[in-house]
Amino acid sequence: MGQASRRTGAGFTLVELCVVLAVAGLLASIAWPSFQSQLQRSRRADAVTALLRVQLAQENHRAHHGLYASQLSALVGAAASRSRDGLYDIELLEGGGDRYVARATARSGSLAAADRGCAVLSLQVREGLAEFAPSTRCWNL
């Protein structure tokens, strides 16, 4: 009897490997933008945390002095001009009296600088009412 030649070795053909790589590449190309978006949101949290720390320190200052502080250096726990992770510069633009404006600006060359539309976040408080700019989306709200 003649033996039919059959492939008995285990393994994958080149075509099967190419199909698997193509599917993996397609899935990666779909997932990558979402992954990048989540990274930007996590970096943005550094600015949000810093500005909320300023807000808390301002309310504490107002409770003790009757007015909001006009300089970051007067705020206990929020006097730093840089965010905790170093991605944003923090500044108090207007302050004193019954209002203030605090701003977080992505540092040039940092990973946060590529955050389109949300590279600058600001918190404006007038008579105890807060406004978040440029949008609540940037504040992860």
Residues 27-39 pLDDT 10s: 888 878 777 777 8
Contacts of 49 (CB under 8 A, 6+ apart): 83, 84
Q: Which two tokens stand for residue 126?
A: 């007038």
Residues 61-92 pLDDT 10s: 999 999 999 999 999 988 899 999 999 999 99
Lowest-pLDDT choice from 7-21, 68-82, 89-103, 121-135: 7-21
Q: Give the whole-angstrom CA distance, residue 132 versus residue 54.
A: 13
Distance from the first to the final alpha carbon of the chain: 77
pLDDT value for 82: 93
- Domain spans of the chain? 14-133
Q: Which two tokens stand for residue 88?
A: 């944003």
- Whether the per-residue pLDDT at 58 is higher than 60: the answer is yes
In whole angstroms, how large is the CA radius of gyration of the chain? 26
